[in-house]
A and B are shown apart, each in its own frame.
Chain A
Amino acid sequence: MTSRESILARIRAALADPAPAPEQPIPRDYLRTHSPDDPAALLDLLHHNLADYRARVHRCTEAELPGALAGLLAERGSRTVAVPPGLPPAWLGAAAVTAVPDDGTLTAARLDTVDSVVTGCALAIAETGTIMLDGGPGQGRRLLSLVPDHHLCVVRAPGQVVASVPLALPRLDPARPQTWISGPSATSDIELDRVEGVHGPRTLEVLLVEG
């Protein structure tokens, strides 16, 4: 008997019950959302919660986006920027940086030498201050948003903002690899003293774009 068969047999034996109690349906009377259905309020909540977990949050309009990105990159002194496939070219149109586009061959060692990465996202959850990446256009492979020390993420409101975890999951495709990010990498392993930035980007900036 293989271990597979013996484990399954042990499970069946463990569960054998001559008079099993009737099974109740899973109670799902928890809330779908904890927030009012108001896009402006949701965006404010997202802003607040991102900032609460030490992401740097900025806001602008669609038209201001290239200028805003250029300004943030200049402010940080970034000269090289990793660019995932599908990032709208206009986004970096005003930035005085060398783009390092990913054609699927950028290595972690190479990414370790770039100053910043700019990505979009799939969704953001207001109640938890979470941005969600799923490798779609403008997001790229998972290592792009992981290895560089500075991650600039663009969230479009209201389209990409949802209130809650239960409202986010149905909009995500389980087949795609996902990274949910809530603030920069952090540790509290040393005397519970919170330190931002261990292995992921030590600085997370989120640009909320309205309209």
Chain B
Amino acid sequence: MTGTFLGMPAFPQAAAAALRDGRLRANLRHATHTIRDKRARAVAELDDWAELRAAGKAIKDHTLRHLDRYLVQLEEAVAAAGGAVHWAADAEEANRIVADLVHATGETEVVKVKSMATQEIGLNEALAAEGITAYETDLAELIVQLGDDRPSHILVPAIHRNRAEIREIFAERMAAWGRPAPADLTDSPAELAEAARLHLREKFLRARVAVSGANFMVAETGTLVVVESEGNGRMCLTLPRTLISVVGIEKVVPTWRDLEVFLQLLPRSSTAERMNPYTSLWTGLGPSKGADGDGPSAFHLVLLDNGRTAALADQVGRQALRCIRCSACLNVCPVYERAGGHAYGSVYPGPIGAILTPQLRGITSPVDASLPYASSLCGACYEVCPVAIDIPEVLVHLRERVAEQGGHPLERAAIAAAGYLFDHPAALAAAERLAGRTRALHPRRLPGPGRAWTDTRDLPQVPAEPFRDWWRRNRS
């Protein structure tokens, strides 16, 4: 497909983008519905899901309430096990720390495990500016990186790409990054995965430095936990000599025992499995302090704030810091399903992104001020959230904060309209249906004052079926 478009100007590009949008919605719909049904079955296997969820919520709330104490305890435990702990107030400082650590090894390449925190701080770009190449090793992240693209889902970042597009990206781009794709590559997922295996294996065997995030950090023991499926995480955590983990300060849990709650909640909520294929746990450099040749001989933990303490200061909003990034809320969200992950303008898409991003970045830009409106408050996200984050409550609260600061011209209009419509549910239903019928007439870019807002994103197309109708039909 791209072959015919090569070198041609704007219109075909725009058409290709539009085409991909159609695919995006089809891919998203298929994907989110598949995962959502599987998740429901995985959760139904445990009679005590409600109790686990209550415990998960309580552990996280307790941790946040004593966050200073647990971070200091974690720091001591990691240091006692041979690790070095660094504190980064913002993205720039975190990137600086990682770049300096890599420079100190004399290396110019790092392998990376998929990590939301490093995407949030733009680590790859910062390293590139320092002459360091970061290789993403998660299959989906590889697809995103080779395609010069952006992730659109927390768990399945290339969910917007279909197999034919992935084949094309591999065939065209792998050679520029290392081992080329086989000449006769087809679009069968098994062949594509095999191409990725061979392409990346060469990098794993050569890599001297790895960068990861972590799903959990245990204050009492200094243990870090990475949950994954493909084994690229194990490769990165085990083979290189130096491991650098960049982790948000809210990822700490107090005790080893607390993992019994989260390692039941996370896999079933996330990939809808009883347990994900691989979970790696490590404590500093291990009992031998790195002398036994098992894993890295140097370990650095970079604790990242980058707006988290600002979220913590908001008594309603701070519950967003309980998030364990399972992505269950994305998969049930009618707005996400139609708008896609890119529309949220941040690495955190979907309902969690709508409440987390404005708190991490502050409600200063039009995009961030608009995020609390990217929801219908239907509450499906709260129902599935394994740590019971009341996302609708935080959305309403953040809307108030946007309104208090005067809002953006367009946001003011949105607030007024939303205020009226949410007060008049029948009017909302009618407006949605009307929009559905006239959707062919809706522009892809808003004119006039709305332009600044839509320039940063595609205006989600109005769904053919109002989501309230859709929701009523699908909820049963």
Residues of A whose CB lies within 8 Å of any CB of B are 2-4, 6-8, 10-15, 17, 20, 23-24, 26-31, 34, 49, 53, 104-105, 108-109, 112, 125, 127-130, 135, 140-143, 146, 165-166, 169-170, 174-193, 195, 197-201
Q: Which residues of B contact A182 (CB under 8 A)?
A: 273-278
Task: List A contacts of B230 (CB < 8 A).
Answer: 185-187, 198-200
Q: By the criterion CB–CB under 8 Å, are A14 and B281 in contact?
A: no
* Contact A189-B139, Cβ < 8 Å, known A34-B47, A175-B287: yes
Instruction: Give the contacts of B262-306 with A (CB-CB under 8 A).
Output: 263-264, 267, 271, 273-283, 286-287, 292-295, 303, 305
CB pair B283–A174 under 8 Å, yes or no, is yes
Q: Is the beta-carbon distance between A174 and B256 smaller than 8 angstroms?
A: yes
The answer to whether A188 and B229 touch across the interface, beta carbons within 8 angstroms, is: yes
**B193–A187 touching, CB < 8 Å:** yes
**Which one of A4, A108, A200 lies within 8 Å of B278 (CB-CB)?**
A200
Which residue, of A15, A23, A53, A166, has the highest number of chain B Cβ atoms within 10 A?
A: A15
A14 touches B283 (CB 8 A): no
CB neighbours of B315 from chain A (8 A) = 17
Is A14 a contact of B309 with CB atoms below 8 Å?
yes
In chain B, what residue has the closest Cβ to A4? B87
Q: Is the CB of B204 closer than 8 A to any CB of chain A? A: yes
Contact assessment for B205 and A30 in the assembled complex, using a CB-CB cutoff below 8 Å? no
Cα–Cα, bound, A96→B26 (Å): 53
B-chain residues with CB within 8 Å of residue A195 when the two chains form the complex = 189-190, 193
Q: Is B328 close to A, CB under 8 A? A: no
Determine if B239 and A143 form an interchain contact, defined as CB atoms under 8 angstroms apart.
yes
Contact surface of B with A, Cβ cutoff 8 Å: 27, 30-31, 34-35, 45-48, 51-52, 54-55, 58-59, 62, 65, 67-68, 71-72, 81, 87-89, 93, 137-140, 143, 156-159, 162-163, 166, 189-190, 192-193, 196-197, 200-201, 204-205, 218, 221, 223, 229-232, 234-235, 237-239, 249, 256-257, 259-261, 263-264, 267, 271, 273-283, 286-287, 292-295, 303, 305, 309-310, 312-313, 315, 318
A101 to chain B, nearest CB (A): 14
Taking CB atoms, residues of chain A closer than 8 Å to B293 are: 104-105, 141
Q: Are A199 and B48 in contact (CB under 8 A)?
A: no
**B71→A199 contact, CB < 8 A:** no
Apart from A26-B62, A186-B277, list 5 A-B contacts with CB within 8 A: A7-B71, A7-B303, A191-B31, A193-B189, A199-B235
Which interface residue of B34, B159, B279 has the most chain A CB atoms within 10 A?
A: B279
* Residues in B whose Cβ lies below 8 Å from that of A200: 230-231, 234, 277-278
27 contacts between A and B (CB under 8 A): A3-B305, A7-B305, A8-B72, A10-B309, A15-B68, A34-B48, A49-B274, A108-B239, A129-B275, A141-B294, A142-B237, A142-B238, A169-B256, A174-B221, A174-B281, A176-B283, A177-B286, A178-B282, A180-B280, A187-B139, A189-B157, A190-B158, A191-B30, A195-B193, A199-B137, A199-B232, A200-B278
